[in-house]
Chain A
Amino acid sequence: MIANLFRKVFLVDLFQGLWVTFRNQDPKRIYTEQYPAERPKVGERYRGAPRLNINPDNGETLCISCNLCALACPENLIVVTSQRNEQTKRKDLTTFTYDTSRCMFCGLCEDACPVDALELTQDFELASYTREGAIWDRQMLEEGPKPTQYKC
């Protein structure tokens, strides 16, 4: 009874909660990532900016223009055009358009690609100043977005 009255008058339960808060003020317990000074290390399987991979030996694109990625996309935002190469009897990729403004980064296109040409990388800084800048053509896809780096 007296203990209850003591607890009530001297705000013991409030101080108990406040102690939790003060305990967490220790600088060792700071959890915030100071972006952009420290850029977060995202996971290996992160679904970020798309990239068209190039064969490292001869610099040609790995894409075989099979159009599976365009068929797999729920939003139908990939457009692949190609022309037939008479010598090798295969298709050569001419243009590859990818609309990142409507993309939901679900990864279905990456899963569908049979030759691992289309890959979602770990780049997450894809902002652009214009709507048209979000529609990526083949060159942008191969090089990747190049956000301006600032030094602080």
Chain B
Amino acid sequence: MADEQKPEGPVAPKPAAAKPAAAAHAAPPKPPAVMVTTPWESDIVQLLKDHFGDDITEFSTYLGQNFLVAKPDAAIAILDTLKLELDFDYLVDITAVDYPKRAKRFDLVYILYSFARNERIRVKTMIPDGYMPATAVTVHLAANWLEREVFDMFGIQFAGHPDMRRILLPEEWQGYPLRKEYGILQQDDAWVRENLGIESGQ
């Protein structure tokens, strides 16, 4: 069901299905599209450039939302600077995105908001599988459960976290569901059989 597109109309489903197949064979594969961003200029950018220089590789804006891409080691220092010097005192969210074909597989995203400036900012870092980023709990207490959820769903362990264990799934669950290789109907059959006493009903 994932690859089917809606037909153009009830009248002629067959010609529409034949055309894309022919076109895919004829044309060479296009490079994967990337996000069309515009560079971001502001006093925040200047201050961060002065502090961190090379550690931040990109300052961009997409659809009016500013974000910066940083090296993973510098992420916590950046969060600290943003909190102490630039008033970004509210950690909105920590999440991750899985790009399995990249060497640096995960995109760890921190979303921050400043009450004083009424601005939101995203800090993104790219980390490979097995890397343990430093925890943000020292900077924002809200990171506690948010990082536990990232660990639960992706398997990214945070170094220095006071309580690094699963939060939504049972503790003995094997597998990290939001990774792309985890199937949509897949479950930890051993856990289900042991604890629920049933065979998985899918």
Contact A68 B1 (CB under 8 A): no
- Do most interface residues of chain B lie in helix, strand or loop, or is the interface mixed? loop
Contact A68 B10 (CB under 8 A): yes
Q: Tell me if A62 counts as interface (CB < 8 A to partner B).
A: no
- Do most interface residues of chain A lie in helix, strand or loop, or is the interface mixed? loop
Q: For window 53-77 of chain A, which residues contact chain B by CB distance below 8 Å?
A: 64, 66, 68, 71, 76
Which residues of B have CB within 8 Å of A68?
6-7, 10
Q: Which residue of A lies closest to B10 (CB)?
A: A66
Contact B4 A71 (CB under 8 A): yes
Q: How far is the CA of A34 from the CA of B200 in the complex (A)?
A: 41
Which residues of B have CB within 8 Å of A66?
7, 10
Which residues of A have CB within 8 Å of B6?
68, 71
Interface-central residue, B1, B4, B6, B10, by most chain A CB under 10 Å = B10
Q: How far is the CA of A68 from the CA of B6 in the complex (A)?
A: 8
Q: How far is the CA of A114 from the CA of B6 in the complex (A)?
A: 13
Q: Mark A110-133, 1 if CB is under 8 A from B, else 0.
A: 000010000000000000000000
Contact A76 B1 (CB under 8 A): yes
Q: For window 28-55 of chain A, which residues contact chain B by CB distance below 8 Å?
A: none
The contact sample of 11 A-B pairs, CB cut-off 8 A, is: A64-B10, A66-B7, A66-B10, A68-B6, A68-B7, A68-B10, A71-B4, A71-B6, A71-B7, A76-B1, A114-B10
Can you name 8 extra interface pairs (CB under 8 A) apart from A66-B10, A76-B1?
A64-B10, A66-B7, A68-B6, A68-B7, A68-B10, A71-B4, A71-B6, A71-B7
